[in-house]
Amino acid sequence: MSYVDRVLEATKAKNANEPEFLQTVEEVLNSLRPIVENDDKYEKAAILERMVEPEKVHMFRVPWVDDNGKVQINRGYRVQFNSAIGPYKGGLRFQPNVNLSIIKFLGFEQTFKNSLTGLPIGGGKGGADFDPKGKSDAEVMRFCQSFMTELYRYIGIDVDCPAGDMGVGGREIGFLYGQFKRITGRYEAGALSGKGLSYGGSLGRPEATGYGAVYYADEYFKSTGGSLKGKKVSVTGFGNVAWGVCKKLTEYGAIPVTISGPDGYVYDEEGINTEDKIAFLLEMRASNRNEAKMYLEKYPNAKFVAGERPFGKVKADIYMPCAMQNEIRIEEAKAIVAEGTAKDVIEVSNMPTTNEAMKYLQENGIIMQASKAVNAGGVACSSLEMTQNAEHLPWTTEEVDARLQPIMRGIFQNCKNAAEKYGCPGNYVAGANLAGFQKVADAMLEQGLV
Ligand code: 2IT
């Protein structure tokens, strides 16, 4: 049995009840064969065995009291996956379905993503099975304060810097930072990112994930001699990331035609490409209703399809899933291919495609781009926020963007080059894994058995 197969088998046996984690490990390790099976130094140093084992896993009780005076208990997590190239870095997700498997999948992906940015950040992820929907500001504050009362022990500028993810935005980061500052008695701004502009946040951070994804996409189309101009794009989700994607796509002359929510999808044939419509996405998010169909209250010409996702159901040249993991399963993959218009799936949300769907799409001529490369602009900008905090100087929007653009364009080039170097030209997904792996593995090899 080959090295990769042996590690995969052992990882499956040891984590049998963690399907999302096993999904990403299988996807990533399979694509690393051209590196790790051609030089036994990786096996001798047990690089893969170490990479699939988080350095530390923190799980903790989060007690809080709701507005009715009732005691509530949630489960909190921080998985510190890999610190070979920098302090742990990655978001916090508050969503009722959060469990150890989901946090480990996100932490594993984050390690490769952070490496791709070229910045000195290791991989980590955390969160809680807390449902922000319908909670009052006071409840969210009490939850965040209780969560931080445990989390503060594990984070810090040179230790671990959490940020937001689904369910954690500016409001939550504010409450978390306030409690962190109070407990530690220090103004350690670089211990959390995604902060507000008045207390150490970076201009451009809320936009960075979506904008970065479009910079990546622009670089990809340029490399093929094409462009985004005039392309119809089916976007899913309607949160912060989908908003940034729609806004930047519009600047490049592409036409976003869908958004989606847990209730179904919206198809706006005329394009979600006016200032008004894009601004309305923010209102939809702020309303806390979590319903895509709210779009029709302002734009009744659009179509809403309840309980479905747009994959293979609309005419789009490109799909850019921006909602959550496993949005594109084999059924959706088959629908995309059967519909026939789309040539590209540019993943934005973390791991939106199942391994089976990925294989089917690639075998049927769809060019895939990996989320860990495409969405790295968010964490890259978080790292730039840490830099600004360290130098006690805020940068202008232009300065931040002037760093973000070359990072994203460089990530695409690295994915492309790695795929070519290791014998799978055009497989940008494998390229992302290979390029992300190389830097982390080199650092681990040089640092000895830790
Ligand atoms: O998935 C991600 O990269 C994030 N949620 C952002 C992490 C960060 O540290 O900004």
pLDDT tops 90 at residue 288: no
Whether 418 and 431 have beta carbons less than 8 Å apart is answered as yes
For the stretch 363-374, pLDDT in tens is 999 999 999 999
User: Which atom of ligand 1 lies closest to the CA of 194?
Assistant: 10
User: Which atom of ligand 1 lies closest to the CA of 113?
Assistant: 3
Residues enclosing ligand 1, CB less than 6 A?
Answer: 89-91, 113, 163, 165, 193, 350, 375, 378-379, 382
> How many Å lie between the centroid of ligand 1 and the Cα of residue 419?
25
| CA–CA separation, 284 and 249 (whole Å) | 19
**Which one is catalytic: 89, 104, 113, 125?**
125
Please report, for residues 229, 267, 350, the alpha-carbon distance to residue 256 in angstroms, rounded to integers and kept in the order given: 11, 9, 20
Specify the pTM.
0.98
For the stretch 308-341, pLDDT in tens is 999 999 999 999 999 999 999 999 999 999 999 9
| CA–CA separation, 371 and 47 (whole Å) | 23
> How many Å lie between the centroid of ligand 1 and the Cα of residue 2?
33
Give the percent of the chain with pLDDT over 70: 100
User: Which residue among 77, 117, 382 is best mutated to probe the pocket of ligand 1, counting the most ligand atoms within 8 A of its Cβ?
Assistant: 382
Give the residue, by CA position, lying nearest to ligand 1 atom 4. Answer: 91
> How many Å lie between the centroid of ligand 1 and the Cα of residue 119?
13
User: Which atom of ligand 1 lies closest to the CA of 205?
Assistant: 10
Instruction: Tell the burial category of 389 from Cβ atoms under 10 Å away from its Cβ (0-12, 13-18, 19+).
Output: buried
> How many Å lie between the centroid of ligand 1 and the Cα of residue 388?
17
3-state helix, strand, coil in the chain (%, to 5): 50, 15, 35
Q: What is the CA radius of gyration of the chain?
A: 21
Give the residue, by CA position, lying nearest to ligand 1 atom 10. Answer: 379
pLDDT mean over 427-444: 98
CA 383, 389, 394, 397: dihedral to nearest 10 degrees? 10
For the stretch 183-217, pLDDT in tens is 999 999 999 999 999 999 999 999 999 999 999 99
User: Which atom of ligand 1 lies closest to the CA of 93?
Assistant: 5
For the stretch 233-276, pLDDT in tens is 999 999 999 999 999 999 999 999 999 999 999 999 999 999 99
For residue 64, give every residue at least 6 positions away whose Cβ sits within 8 Å of its Cβ, in sequence order, or none.
71, 72, 74, 139, 142, 143, 145, 146
User: Which residue among 79, 93, 110, 172 is best mutated to probe the pocket of ligand 1, counting the most ligand atoms within 8 A of its Cβ?
Assistant: 110
User: Which atom of ligand 1 lies closest to the CA of 110?
Assistant: 3
> How many Å lie between the centroid of ligand 1 and the Cα of residue 436?
16
For the stretch 387-413, pLDDT in tens is 999 999 999 999 999 999 999 999 999
User: Which residue among 106, 155, 379, 400 is best mutated to probe the pocket of ligand 1, counting the most ligand atoms within 8 A of its Cβ?
Assistant: 379
Give the residue, by CA position, lying nearest to ligand 1 atom 3. Answer: 379
Active site residue 44: no
Q: Six-digit token pair at 378?
A: 């968010």
| CA–CA separation, 312 and 284 (whole Å) | 25
